[in-house]
């Protein structure tokens, strides 16, 4: 989905490496068997951040999660979810939230096999957003 990226390198660096980063990442690496002997290559990652629900408390939000197709089925994704779950528990989180596009049935099946609940069916939550243009308009209203 490279066409959808609007973030600049400058934005990314500011959001990633200041005193209070907006998100955290885990990466999965495997040794490069046929490249530099000491090198590694990233085959998967997860991006997450903490959020808060006034009814239930601190939550972890899984923003992005990906394992390269060649490395799927080897337990890498399960290990990443395990690490994020441990981070959530260590940080007193009550749940992990994330969204999945409706057409990504493989991911939906992956998560539900592991116990994830589809809140759009269970609790009938709908996802909304305000665009930057809408926020500017709202911010300037008197």
The residues carrying an active-site annotation are 111
Tokens representing residue 75 in the block:
């337990």
> Using CA atoms, how far apart are residues 107 and 113, in angstroms rounded to an integer?
10
Give the tokens for residue 121.
């069916």
The contacts of residue 43 (CB under 8 Å, 6+ apart) are: 28, 29, 30, 67, 68, 70, 71, 76
Backbone angles phi, psi at 130, to 5 degrees: -105, 130
Q: What's the N-to-C CA distance of the chain in angstroms?
A: 38
Q: SS3 for 106?
A: helix
């Amino acid at each position: 989905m490279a066409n959808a990226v609007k973030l600049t390198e400058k934005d990314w660096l500011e959001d990633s490496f200041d005193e209070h980063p907006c998100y955290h990442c885990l990466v999965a690496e495997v040794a490069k068997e046929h490249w530099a002997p000491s090198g590694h290559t990233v085959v998967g990652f997860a991006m997450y951040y903490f959020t808060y629900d006034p009814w239930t408390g601190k939550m972890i939000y899984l923003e992005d999660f990906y394992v390269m197709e060649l490395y799927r089925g080897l337990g890498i994704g399960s290990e990443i979810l395990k690490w994020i779950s441990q981070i959530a528990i260590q940080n007193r989180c009550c749940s992990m939230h994330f969204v999945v596009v409706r057409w990504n049935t493989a991911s939906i099946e992956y998560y539900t096999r592991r116990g994830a609940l589809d809140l759009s069916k269970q609790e009938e939550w709908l996802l909304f957003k305000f665009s930057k243009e809408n926020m500017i308009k709202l911010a300037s209203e008197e």
